[in-house]
């Protein structure tokens, strides 16, 4: 299988519970003491019905809010996350894996007590020649939706392999 054949392949899916403790701790860790994240009174004054999440919170959501008992069936068909295989393939010749770019598109606010349904897939793989290395870019799109199926956040993750 050529690496580019992985374009379109699902990389995972899951269900996230947005919990207050994780949101408050995450906000403190990015040096954000804004009471809107920590104190329900401030959240309500800002127009939310529960504390909202900081802009990059969803990137860690799978660690912060997944409950094993309600996860959906493995969207990769038990083949595992293809990114792991792609990385192994690329690293055979050495080099370095880097988080090159990260993008968030916000469709609706996310706040505590929300339940989010995410689904991710590889949307592009391309190469670029730089001065002294071949760079391979692997783009993954992760869409978080609410219970009605409406998207709330789309994440675009660009992983780079810098070959030798």
The sign of the dihedral angle between the CA atoms of 66, 69, 73, 78 is: positive
Closest contact distance (angstroms) between CB of 1 and another protein is 28
- CA–CA separation, 153 and 9 (whole Å): 20
Is 138 among the residues that bind another protein (CB under 8 A)?
A: no
Site string for another protein, 46-75 (x = CB under 8 A): xxxx--x-xxx--xx--xx-----------
Residue 98 CB, nearest approach to another protein (Å): 7
Q: Is position 147 an interface residue for another protein (rule: CB under 8 A)?
A: no
**Dihedral sign from CA coordinates of 13, 18, 21, 22:** positive
Name the token pair of 154: 């789309």
Per CB under 8 A, contacts with another protein among 109-128 are 109, 111
Pick 1 or 45: Cβ nearer another protein: 45
How far apart are alpha carbons 83 and 97 in whole angstroms? 11
DSSP 134: E
Contact between 30 and another protein (CB under 8 A)? yes
Structure tokens that stand for 97 in this block:
């894996």
Q: How far is CA 112 from the centre of its chain?
A: 18
Q: Is 151 in the site for another protein (CB under 8 A)?
A: no
* Interface residues toward another protein, by CB under 8 A: 22, 25-26, 28-32, 34, 36-37, 46-49, 52, 54-56, 59-60, 63-64, 98-106, 108-109, 111, 156
């Amino acid at each position: 299988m050529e690496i580019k054949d992985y374009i379109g392949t699902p990389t995972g899916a899951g269900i996230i519970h947005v919990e207050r403790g994780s949101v408050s701790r995450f906000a403190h860790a990015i040096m954000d003491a804004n009471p809107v994240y920590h104190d329900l009174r401030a959240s309500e004054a800002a127009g939310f019905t529960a504390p909202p999440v900081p802009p990059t919170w969803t990137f860690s959501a799978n660690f912060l809010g997944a409950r094993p008992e309600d996860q959906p069936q493995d969207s990769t068909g038990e083949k595992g996350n293809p990114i792991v295989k792609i990385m192994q393939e690329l690293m055979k010749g050495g080099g370095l894996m880097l988080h090159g770019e990260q993008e968030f598109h916000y469709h609706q606010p996310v706040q505590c007590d929300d339940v989010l349904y995410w689904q991710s897939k590889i949307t592009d793989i391309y190469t670029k020649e730089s001065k002294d290395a071949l760079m391979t870019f692997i783009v993954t799109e992760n869409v978080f939706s609410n219970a009605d199926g409406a998207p709330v956040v789309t994440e675009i993750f660009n992983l780079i392999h810098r070959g030798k």
